Amino acid sequence: MREVTRVYLMGEVQVHALRGVDFELLESELVVLLGPSGSGKSTLLNILGGLDRPTSGHVFYRGDELTLAPDDELTEYRRRHVGFVFQFYNLIPSLTAAENVALVTDIAASPMSPDEALELVDLSERRHHFPAQLSGGEQQRVAIARAVAKRPQVLLCDEPTGALDVRTGRVVLSVLSRIHEELGTATAVITHNAEIAKMAHRVVSLADGRVSRVRRNERRLPPDEIVW
């Protein structure tokens, strides 16, 4: 994305979420977007994932411009290429783990089976449980299984450990990292936790709607060595 700004109205106040951001997510890359709350990182992720449009600037996916794409095209883009993992999991409470994954496999072009996807996150034996019967970490792993089941080109994670304790968070990060290794999916992880940045190829720091710093990790830390 180039020169992206995003302004929206909160009640009667104009909020400048992004103020001219250039950002690129490369294939097979794991990027961490680091920044305090209100720095614009969620907005950036939403725009990357086709959930939102910039107020100005341009967004491209593999050379196709998404900036002014109609809703249907953005939906198709999400449906084919993007996997989302949210801070609050956003599972459908009335569906079991397997059915939540099936939501995606039902509509994807060449998905894995829900069982396969749950296997990837070590939750095969919990597949018939409803979200309310799963712990937070398990719910987040279901959400990850749901995101990767379609074999997306892009995996976008919004504070995936934000609602979890350290130990569970670490398990979730390991799963993310392993999947990234196995599937080679370009992955962007949002966090306000600088420690998590140590597992990334590249760390992009945001502050006040701008990219404040870009740093490459010479040595990536495996998730189970991360401490916070």
Partner 1 sequence: MTRRRLTKALDVKVLRDARSLRAQLIAIALVIACGVGLFLGMRATMRSLAAARSQYYAEERFANVFAQLERAPEAVASRLREIPGVARIQTRIVANVTLDVPDMAETASARLVSVPDEGGILVNDVRLRSGRMPASGRSDEAVVSEPFAQAHALELGDHVAAVINGRRERLRIVGTALSPEFTYTVGPGLVFPDDRRFGILWLRRSALGPAFDMQGAFNDVVIEVSRGALIAQVIDRVDRVLERYGGIGAIERKDQESAFFIENELAQLQSFGLMVPITFLFVGSLLLNVVIGRIVASQRVQIAALKALGYHDREIGAHYAKLVGIVTVTGVVLGVLLAGWLGGSMVRQYSQYFRFPELPFVMSLRDVIQAVGITLAAAVAGGWAAIRQSVRLPPAEGMRPASPANYRPTLVERFGWTRRIGPNVQMILRELERRPWRASLSVLGIALAAALMVLTTFSFDAFTHMINVQFGIAQREDVQLVLFSPREVSDVREIEHLPGVIHAEPFRSAPIRLRSGPLSRSVAVRGLPAGTTLHKVLDADLRQVSIPRAGLVVSAKLASLLGVRTGDDVRVEVLEGRRRRVNVPVARIAEAFIGLQAYMDLEALAGLLGETPTMNGAWLLVDERELAALHASVKSMPNVAGITVRADAIQAFRKILDESLGTSLAISLGFALVMSLGVLYNAARITLSERTRDLASLRVLGFRRGEVSFLLLGEIAILSACGIPLGLWLGRVLAGLLVRSPGFDSEQFRIPLVIEPATYALAALTIVLATGIAGFAAWRRLERIDIVDVLKTRD
Residues of the shown chain interacting with partner 1 in the complex, contacts defined by CB under 8 A: 10-11, 43, 46, 49, 51-52, 71-72, 75-76, 78-80, 82, 84, 86, 88, 90-95, 99-100, 102-104, 106-108, 113-116, 146, 150
Nearest approach, Cβ of 155 to partner 1 (angstroms)? 12
Measured from the CB atom, is 160 or 223 closer to partner 1?
A: 160
3-state DSSP assignment of residue 178: helix
Measured from the CB atom, is 93 or 218 closer to partner 1?
A: 93
Nearest approach, Cβ of 92 to partner 1 (angstroms)? 5
Nearest approach, Cβ of 97 to partner 1 (angstroms)? 11
Measured from the CB atom, is 26 or 107 closer to partner 1?
A: 107
Please state whether beta strands 56-58 and 30-34 pair in parallel, antiparallel, or not at all (unpaired): unpaired
The C-alpha atoms of residue 127 and residue 96 are separated, in whole angstroms, by: 7
Continuous segment of H or E residues that includes residue 13: strand 13-21
Cβ pair 110, 151 in contact under 8 A? yes
* Four-point Cα dihedral 211, 212, 216, 220, nearest 10: -90
Nearest approach, Cβ of 216 to partner 1 (angstroms)? 29
